[in-house]
């Protein structure tokens, strides 16, 4: 299936989280609400839960954690000039960051993003090949140094937590990033293949593509396609 972006406003909502963090479940509820409300209203809001790995040695190894997602959060910290990592952290369109459980800040940042205009249109066509997803993309001429990020996200994931700060809880998490890759946008169109984990359920998964300046600054355009319809 092909899904183009529009020149209207959009919001890419990235959240850095961990199953080992007791402050994170409320923020994950906010992310779930954001994703559900956007689907109900047909709004171009794209939620991504990046599970970082620096909590893994503190009692509970997060099965969704990846060092690459920690590196992405570190790059944001450098871009913002803070050098500070924390969970839960929410980032909207690469430019606004705040504590992820703050519903008011999230609503305000998303509303502001939707009131703006996309500057780079992007279109995705995704094909589930079993064990990997092939993504054909097309983008309007992006600025020099722009990057296309492609994320495979999955909804409705339950995890029983045996140790750590959330011991004894069953966490339900949505739009968890299960696979992620980035490509330099040197051409207006191309193809990228993303390896997916063997337990990924394509019926509950989507492909999110977004164009970003220098990979960690302002997001210029975004779109998504459900993998079940690809």
Contact by Cβ (8 Å): 72, 151: no
What pLDDT is recorded for position 99?
98
User: Cα dist. 160→73, 104, 176 in Å?
Assistant: 26, 29, 16
- The DSSP H or E segment spanning 32 is helix 24-41
Q: Which residue has the higher pLDDT, 186 or 13?
A: 13
**Mean local confidence (pLDDT), 99-109:** 98
**pLDDT tens, 161-212?**
999 999 999 999 999 999 999 999 988 899 999 999 999 999 999 999 999 9
134 confidence band (pLDDT: 50, 70, 90) = very high
What are the backbone angles phi and psi of residue 8, rounded to the nearest 5°? -80, 175
What pLDDT is recorded for position 118?
87
pTM metric for this prediction: 0.95
Q: What's the sign of the alpha-carbon dihedral 90, 134, 198, 67? A: negative
Q: What's the sign of the alpha-carbon dihedral 209, 211, 215, 219? A: negative
What pLDDT is recorded for position 142?
78
Within a 10 A sphere around the Cβ of 111, how many other Cβ atoms?
Answer: 11
User: Cα dist. 146→10, 13, 70, 149, 186 in Å?
Assistant: 18, 18, 21, 10, 8
Contact by Cβ (8 Å): 21, 86: no
Q: Which residues contact 129 (CB under 8 A, 6 or more apart)?
A: 193
- The DSSP H or E segment spanning 49 is strand 45-51
Distance CA 112, CA 56 (A): 35
Q: Does domain 2-229 have CATH number 3.40.50.970?
A: no
230 confidence band (pLDDT: 50, 70, 90) = low
What pLDDT is recorded for position 144?
86
**pLDDT tens, 78-95?**
999 988 899 999 999 999
**pLDDT tens, 54-80?**
999 999 999 999 999 999 999 999 999
Distance CA 65, CA 83 (A): 20
Q: DSSP secondary-structure letter at 30?
A: H
Residue 4 has pLDDT above 80, yes or no: no
Residue 2 has pLDDT above 60, yes or no: no
Q: Could you state, in order of their start, the residue ranges of all structural domains in the chain?
A: 2-229
133 confidence band (pLDDT: 50, 70, 90) = very high
What pLDDT is recorded for position 214?
86
Within a 10 A sphere around the Cβ of 132, how many other Cβ atoms?
Answer: 14
Residue 229 has pLDDT above 90, yes or no: no
For residue 157 the two structure tokens come to 């994931």
Tell me whether the omega of the peptide bond preceding residue 88 falls within 30 degrees of 0, making it cis: yes
């Amino acid at each position: 299936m092909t899904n183009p972006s529009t020149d209207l406003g959009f919001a890419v909502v990235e959240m850095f989280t961990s199953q080992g963090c007791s402050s994170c479940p409320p923020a994950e509820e906010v992310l779930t609400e954001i994703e559900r409300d956007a689907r109900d209203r047909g709004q171009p809001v794209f939620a991504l839960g990046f599970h970082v790995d620096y909590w893994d040695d503190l009692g509970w190894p997060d099965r969704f954690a990846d060092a690459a997602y920690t590196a992405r959060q570190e790059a944001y910290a450098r871009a913002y000039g803070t050098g500070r990592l924390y969970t839960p952290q929410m980032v909207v369109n690469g430019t606004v960051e705040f504590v992820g459980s703050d519903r008011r800040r999230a609503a305000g940042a998303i509303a502001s993003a939707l009131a703006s205009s996309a500057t780079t249109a992007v279109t995705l066509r995704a094909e589930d090949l079993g064990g990997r997803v092939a993504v054909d993309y097309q983008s309007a001429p992006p600025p020099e140094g722009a990057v296309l990020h492609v994320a495979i996200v999955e909804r409705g994931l339950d995890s029983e937590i045996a140790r750590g700060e959330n011991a004894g809880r069953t966490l339900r998490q949505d739009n968890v990033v299960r696979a992620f890759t980035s490509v330099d946008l040197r051409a207006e169109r191309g193809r990228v293949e993303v390896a997916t984990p063997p337990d990924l359920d394509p019926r509950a998964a989507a492909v999110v593509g977004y164009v970003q300046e220098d990979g960690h600054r302002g997001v210029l355009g975004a779109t998504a396609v459900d993998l079940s319809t690809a």
